[in-house]
Amino acid sequence: MTLAGKRILLIIAGGIAAYKSLDLIRRLRERGADVRPIMTRGAQEFVTPLAVGALSASHVYTELFSREDEQDVGHIRLARECDLVLVAPATADLMAKMANGLADDLASTVLLATDRPVLIAPAMNPKMWSHAATQRNFTVLQRDGIQMIGPMDGEMAESGERGRGRMAEALEIAARVEDLLSGPKPLAGLKAVVTSGPTHEPIDPVRYIANRSSGKQGHAIAAALARLGADVTLVSGPVTIADPVGLRTLHVERAEEMRDAVLSALPADIAVMVAAVADWRVATSAEQKIKKQPGEAPPPLQLAENPDILKTIGHHPERPRLVVGFAAETENVEDNGRAKLERKGADLIVANDVSSETGVMGGDRNRVRLISHDGVEAWPDLTKGEVAERLALWIATQIGGTGA
C-alpha cells in the first residue's frame, strides 16, 4: 500500500489508449490510492464512465457546467483536493491546451487551476508526436515543470504503425506516481552507474560471441536506484527490453564500448556492474562473412581477453564510494564469489547460480547471495524486481545520501 492515503486526480483524454486507464486505476487502487476520475468527451467514445466509475469506486466528472458538480465551484475543488494530477492518456490536443493556457472544458480548466504536481503520459500517432507543433508544446510543458512519462516506442493499436507514441504501461505509470509521492529519497544527490545485459563480440558482420543475459536484473536495479533518488546512468548491452523511465541509458555492443561508457560516467558515488560481459573477443573480426569451404575444417578463431570492467572500476583513481559486482556462477558459488570480491576490488559481490536448470539467465526470478567482507547473506527466491528493490535499499543503508 505504497500510495495509502494519497489522492490522485486522473484525467482521461480521448484516444485509443484510454482503454489502458482501466488497468491504471486498478494498479493505483491496489497500492492504496484514492482515484477521482475526470473524462473528456473524447475519452467517453473509447471507455464508458460506468466502467471507470466501477473500477475507481468514485463519481466520474465529465462536464464543466454540471449543475450538480459546480454548486460549490467543483472544478476548483477538484484541482486542489488531490496530491497529484495524472493525465493518462495525454493527447496532442490536451497537451496543446495545457501549453497555451486554454480552458474550454473540465479537464483543461482543472489543469489551469491546479497548484498540485502534474504528471502526463502522452499517447498519439507517431507522426503527431514528432510534429513540430507537438514538440514545441512538449518543450513548453517541460519548462513549466510538468512531469512526463513516455511516450514509448512500439506498434500503434489503431493503425499498426510503429514508432514513438504508445502510452506507458499501467505498471510503469503507477511506479512513477509512487516515485513522485514517496517523500524523501535516501539516494538523492548521489550519482550511480549501472551496467546491464550481455555484450556482443563480432566474429564477422553476421556472427558474434554472446551469452543469454536478458538485462532484466540490471535494468530493474537501475530503475530501483533512480526511484530512491539517485542520478543513474545505465550502460546497456544489446537487449530486447525497454529502457527504464527516468534515467539516462547508453547503448553499447562490445565490452570495450561498455568500459568506455562506464568510465565516461565517472565520477560517481555508486557503481553496480550487473552486465554479463564476454570474457573474450575475437582478436581480429572478419570484414566479410566467413564462408564454409567444402572439405575444409572450420577456420580457427584466435581469442583475446576483454577488459575487466569491474576490476577497472574497483581500482580506478576515481573509484566510486561503493562498488558492487555480480558473479554468475555454475558451481562453487560462494567460493568463487569471495575470490572475485578480493580480486576485483569490490565492496560487495552479488552471486547467483546460473546453471541451465535454474532458469535465471533470461528468466524473471533470481536467488542471490550477498558476499561482502562482513560475510555472506543468502536471500530467498525472489523476482528480479524484488531483488532490485532490496539491493537498492541495501545500498542506501550502506552509503547514505542527502535525503533531499
Residue 382 sits in a domain of what CATH number?
3.40.50.10300
Classify 101 in phi/psi space as left (phi over 0), alpha (psi -120 to 50) or beta.
Answer: left
Please check whether residues 340 and 216 belong to one and the same domain.
yes
Least confident of 70-79, 264-273, 382-391: 70-79
Q: Are residues 126 and 201 in the same domain?
A: no
**Residues 141 and 201 placed together within one structural domain of the fold:** no
**Same domain as 38, residue 175:** yes
Residue-wise pLDDT for 254-304, tens only, equals 999 999 999 999 999 999 999 999 999 999 999 999 998 888 888 889 999
Cell of 180: 513522485
Residue 269 marked as a ligand binder: no
127 labeled part of a ligand binding site: no
Domain contains 404? no
pLDDT tier for residue 361 given thresholds of 50, 70 and 90: low
Same domain, 155 and 282: no
| Domain presence at residue 395 | yes
Q: Which of 123, 148, 181 is the last residue in one of the domains?
A: 181
Q: Residue 184 has what pLDDT?
A: 73
Q: Do 51 and 23 meet the contact criterion of CB atoms below 8 Å apart? A: no
The mean-pLDDT minimum among 68-72, 170-174, 212-216, 221-225 falls in 68-72
The catalytic residue among 137, 211, 352, 366 is 211
Q: What percent of the chain has pLDDT over 90?
A: 66
Please name every residue paired with 194 in a beta bridge, in sequence order, or none if there are none.
234, 272
37 marked as binding residue: no
Q: Are residues 248 and 348 in the same domain?
A: yes
- pTM of the predicted structure, to 2 decimals: 0.64
The three state secondary structure string of the chain is CCCCCCEEEEEECCCHHHHHHHHHHHHHHHCCCEEEEEECCCHHHCCCHHHHHHHHCCCCECCCCCCCCCCCCHHHHHHHCCCEEEEEEECHHHHHHHHHCCCCCHHHHHHHHCCCCEEEEECCCHHHHHCHHHHHHHHHHHHCCCEECCCEEEECCCCCCEEEEECCCHHHHHHHHHHHHCCCCCCCCCEEEEEECECCEEEECCEEECCCCCCHHHHHHHHHHHHCCCEEEEEECCCCCCCCCCCEEEECCCHHHHHHHHHHCCCCCEEEECCECCCEEECCCCCCCCCCCCCCCCCCCCEEECCCHHHHHHCCCCCCCEEEEEEEECCCHHHHHHHHHHHHCCCEEEEEECCHHHCCCCCCEECEEEEECCEEEECCCEEHHHHHHHHHHHHHHHHCCCCC
CA 265, 253, 310, 281 dihedral sign is negative
| pLDDT higher at 365 or 301 | 301
Residues 100 and 65 reside in one and the same domain: yes
| 170, 198: one domain | no
* Number of other residues whose CB lies within 10 A of the CB of residue 290: 15
pLDDT, greater one: 146 or 69: 146
Looking at residue 143, its amino acid is R
Residues 113 and 54 placed together within one structural domain of the fold: yes
pLDDT at 75: 66
Q: Grid coordinates representing 124?
A: 498519439
Provide the CATH number for the domain around residue 22: 3.40.50.1950
Confidence tier at 358 by pLDDT (50, 70, 90): low
Confidence of residue 2 (pLDDT cuts 50, 70, 90): confident
Q: Domain for residue 186, yes or no?
A: no
C-alpha cell at 342: 578480493
Alpha-carbon dihedral sign for residues 265, 266, 270, 271:
positive
Segments forming the whole domain that contains residue 200: 191-399
Grid look-up 476520475 returns: 37
Both 300 and 341 in one domain: the answer is yes
Asked if the bond preceding 202 is cis, omega within 30° of 0, the reply is no
Question: Is 309 annotated as ligand-binding?
Answer: yes
The annotation status of 191 as a binding-site residue, yes or no, is: no
Q: Residue 308 annotated as binding?
A: yes
Task: Specify the residue for cell string 508544446.
Answer: 137
Contact 60, 52 (CB under 8 A): yes
State how far the Cα of 278 lies from the Cα of 333, in Å rounded to an integer: 19
Q: Which of 181, 199, 234 is the last residue of a domain?
A: 181
Biggest CA-to-CA distance, the chain: 90
Phi and psi torsions of 354, nearest 5° = -110, 25
Considering its fold, how many domains does the chain have in total?
A: 2
Residue 137 annotated among the catalytic residues of the structure = no
Q: Quick one: pLDDT band at residue 126, thresholds 50, 70, 90?
A: very high
